[in-house]
Structure 1
Amino acid sequence: AANGFWSIPVHPDSQYKFAFSFRDRQYTWVGLPQGFHNSPTLFHQCIVNILQGVSTPSAIIHYVDDILIQTDTKEKHYALLGEVLGLLKEAGLKLNPSKVQLMRDSVTFLGVQISAGGRIPDPAKVKLVQSLPRPHTVTALRSFLGIVGFCRDFIEGYSEIATPLYEHLKDNPGKKDELDWNPTSEEAFLKLKQALTMAPALRNPDPTLPFIVEEAVSETSIIAVLTQEVHGKSIPVGYFSRTLTPVERAYDQCTKQLLGIHWIITQTEYICGFNNIIIRTPHTPVALQIKGQVKGVSTQRWGRWITELDSKRSQYHEGGNYHTGAACWAPALDKKILYKCHPSDSAQKAETEYLPVWQKRGFCTAENDILYHQDPLAWVTPEQLHLPLILYFHQISGHCSPARVLELLQGLYWWPSIKEDVDNHLSLCLVCAQMNPLPRKKQVPMGNLHLPEGPWDTLQIDYCTNLPPVKGGYKHILVVVDMFTRWIEAFPTHRNDALTTAKILWEQIFTRWGFPHHIESDNGPHFIADVIRTMCTMLRIQQAFHIPYRPQSSGIVERFNRTLKSSLKKAILESTDIMVKSSPDWVQALTGVLMAIRATTVRTTRHSPYELMTGRPMPIAHPCGVPLPTSTNYQHQQFFAQLQEVLQTKLLSAAHNMGISHFRSAISHSPMRPIQFQIGDSVMLKKFLRVGGWDTNWEGPYEVIDHLGPNVQLAITKRGRPKQMLWFHGDQCKMYEKQQQTDKDDQ
């Protein structure tokens, strides 16, 4: 049918649901649109209703807008074709003359070429697959697997062959990501192309003959072929396969075979219908299932489904191997089963019943003797010696881990709670607490920075220090970054004190760009001094201070500091000879570096800071004499209106991109499992200033008296001293002892 979807009108009461805008005008669909999710289903049902009036419905097969008419004589074909065309005309549908295939004994229907001799893949698709090069991106690989997977019924063991290619699509990679191609992938790619090129013709199903299913299960896949015997020769009707899930791969072989039988029968149901099915399998799972010797919830569910079918068992001999299977299955839901399974072989009984018992007992063996415990006998230790023994072995082993201490103890001593006691007592070892590092997986996950509401809403400021002194006495750079646009300002200074900071903020930032709502910084004396606090209070600016020794809290300005230093070094190396000039003038290179940073697109916002501030890319001179694009001669009011529109679009895009970036940042750190600190817990605090090479890494213990958030900050005080509110990040603390430790442990 040509433009079949548009032939179905949409009710006027529902037309508003399909409204859309195009070039500042509003439209709506009055006919069924092609992009609607339910359009194929609705049109298919429409064709079903139209073709109900034909005289021979069994001679017509249709799928959505494709109709196949099959008859055994020309006279019948002409008559049936006339009926179908008349019904379609009466319904107001049209046909596409370029796609109509009339009076042929071989037609292409739904991508498959069908004739009296059977079915083969569409030669055009086969030729297309042969010409496809090796995929380099995820999109190209998905396209190749989509074309080949459409013809998977013609490829024996498709799932097992294509498994290396599907490995590249795990974890949902990006569409343009490059593939990590390897020899295994190349072999699978060539095998699929060769298998499709040499695909055999599949027999058209004959409902008068029984169907034969030959099924096998490997470690990773279920493979089956559906055949029918004609003149003593098996001819394939279709190939079926699928990969096993990680859970299914852990099944024993008997359960895998039962899963394969259940899957292939349900998979071929649309072909076999109510015909008899002969199943040939290298195992006897059905007999074991009916006797109740295969355990598990899934297998019991399959068993109830199997017992609803009449079956009988037969032996199939081929090449000296016996394949036992359930044969001639036909639905008989209203009959009782008069079937009793033969006794199973001893090997299968051992596999299904005795192997789990043997595994639970540790695979112990005995030859003409009784079973016994192979470990040496251990001394049952009185309770008074538990702690001295643990501390003794912990000290002589060099304060090793609890697992090592437990290993030393279990060779000679035993008591019921030996493992718990070792863990509890060694968690109180002060020496280990002062030296052992904090495990990576127990660190606090990275959180999200405060998202500003717009340009110049929130600033981050910091000093870039440790720069070589230059002419003029400049040794520091005050860096100011707008968190929304990522616009950067940098000012060389002689000192990094509070008065210098306040002067630059007033003269260079506030008077040029206006007053922000928030300023974030570290706890340096140049930011927490009274002059800065007073100025911010008078200007209604809220100050936020980050945790000490935690540069991640000021991640944006710290990242710009690194970029600034690196760019300055590159500019100096390019323009001067460091070996000759001992003190390069980085002040002169600073302005050019700032221009380059402002013109570079930021990955988070996907715009350059200059674009978000001015609404247009930064004009840059071209070295080849290419003329710069001339600006349109706008009037002021017209330019202002266009600038507002452009800025609004870019700022909204940047805000959206920043939200996505923070979300991905939170996801990427989610595998960490932070410790949940509670009030009253004892923790060790990381030392930031150590004296000498033998100083400890941690100090304490300290007591937790408050916390802001479950994993972010802690307020601690040292035991035996007045409590002080000292805030630290969760990664700077580690648990020393749990709150629920008993007095018995302290003793």
Structure 2
Amino acid sequence: MNLREPSTLVEANKFLGGLSWYRKFVPRFASIAAPIHKVTNLTKQNRKNFKWEQPQHEAFLRLKQFLVTTPLFLDYPNDNYPVILTTDASKIGIGGTLQQNINGEIKNLYYHSQVTSSTQKRYDPIELEALAIWMCFQRMRPYLLGRSVIIYTDHCPLCNMMNSTVKNRRVDRISILLQEYDIEKIIHIKGQHNCLADYLSRHPIPREEEIFDEDYGIAEQDKGEPTVIECVPDETPPLAGAITRSETKKLRLEQDKNTTTITPSQKNVTPSSTVEEEEDDQGKDSASQDIQKYRFDMEQLKIEQEKDPVIQQKIIEVKKNPVKCSYELKDGLLYKLLMMRVNCNTKKKIIYLPSSMINNLLQVYHSDPLSGHFGVQRTYLKIKNIFWWPDMKQSITRYIQSCLPCQQYNITRTKKPGRLQPIPPPEGPFQLIGMDYCGPLKQTPSGNQYVLCITDYFTRWIVAVAVPDCSAQTTAEAFFKEYICKYGVPAVVLSDQGTHFHNQLMEAMSKLVGYDHTYSTTYHPQSNGMIERFNATFIPQIAKLQDRENNNWDEFLAPVVFAYNTGCHSTTQYSPFQLLFGR
């Protein structure tokens, strides 16, 4: 066991206190622990005389050995009995014991102890105790899954953490993570009876010495180390059994002398550099070889520019009038002069890339493994400071859109537009009308609070009626008197599914008068968007005209509707009045 040997009086007393919980299982415990008791039973005046010598050292080793031998050695779990997890936490560390009570005899299954991190030291006590439970569950997961678990903790507020919130985010999150386990109950235990878990929490095993590798047969990877490919000579003996972290470090030190680190070579394409072919004895990648054959040195660029008729025409223009042209000819190579930043008078020379080399360049800057098949913007930003050609971004866009791997694996971030099902336009006026309520508004002196709006889908003609409420009777009466009696019976009426429209009275009137009443989708006002758009239009107009003190908005409702009906509509390019009355 990795228990640290006491070096002070306080540590010695804690060791005896923790071990005394099991003294009834240890034969001749008092005589074995007598050397330690001799140096710990000191008065306040003599505490400075504490000495830890060879007799105390031997007693410590013997007592520590009893913890891992009969009857205190670790047993296998019995599936017929629940397991008991006892935990404790302190600012120093976290401790826990896993046991089973089999016919009155305590069987030890697991001990856990670890140091708290600098962040965990700042946790509240309830968070630390909950963290101790969670860390023990993580460590003892193979023992706890599929078994009934009883938890003992000396922090009473955690007893109901699995049944209700404790109003602490960390604790509530831990309770959610523990839902996969069969936790029978959480019991409060007094601190004086929680000796072993308390001792483990105050004498934790340092993180560097934690040997979880031997439990699971794996080695923890050191953080912060660069990823390299190591070529280890064949004479290195194979590893057998569990690999611990200390053994791994020793092996690495021994292998450093005979280790060759291979890092991926970086390939940069610049005007003055040549992409050279490299042969690999172990195998050649055909795609990489095709890219390596593309040459972008100055001589090759001059040759390709001489073959390009557009570039040759630009060279003639530069020679005739070099001042007015945004190009420059230097050493037989044509450059494009570009301002790289806004409000910058300095222009940068960018090589004019011949059209014959565009596809090869895009393959290097997009399809090459070191380019990563990234998108248009990233590819454009890589190239724009080195090469230029007309319609550069459009060419990059077309190339990437034609790249098969990109089309196969790229994720579309925007949703595809849905299949629209627009309402077909009617053949004449008053065949299809939309109807909706606007309100409640502030009650006027006349008692009106709502506006019943009716619009014709063909002419956009609007009828608006101020009413005191939006009941079914008020709706039916206003619709019949103000619309049907003046403009006739429509073929179809479209409205939402509110109770003022969808009721027995309105259904009876539709059958009696003879029109079809259609309802829009629930919670989807876009189905009747024309009338919804008018509601958003006339409210601000009334607000501008009404007298705020008297709140007489219903007096200005008719003038606003008249102004709307006589104004030119943006969709039809005619006023609703002209379409309805022909003048």
Q: TM-score range by the shorter chain?
A: 0.3 to 0.5
The structure that has the greater radius of gyration is: 2
Normalising by the residue count of structure 1, what TM-score does the alignment of the two structures yield? 0.26
TM (norm. structure 2) is 0.32
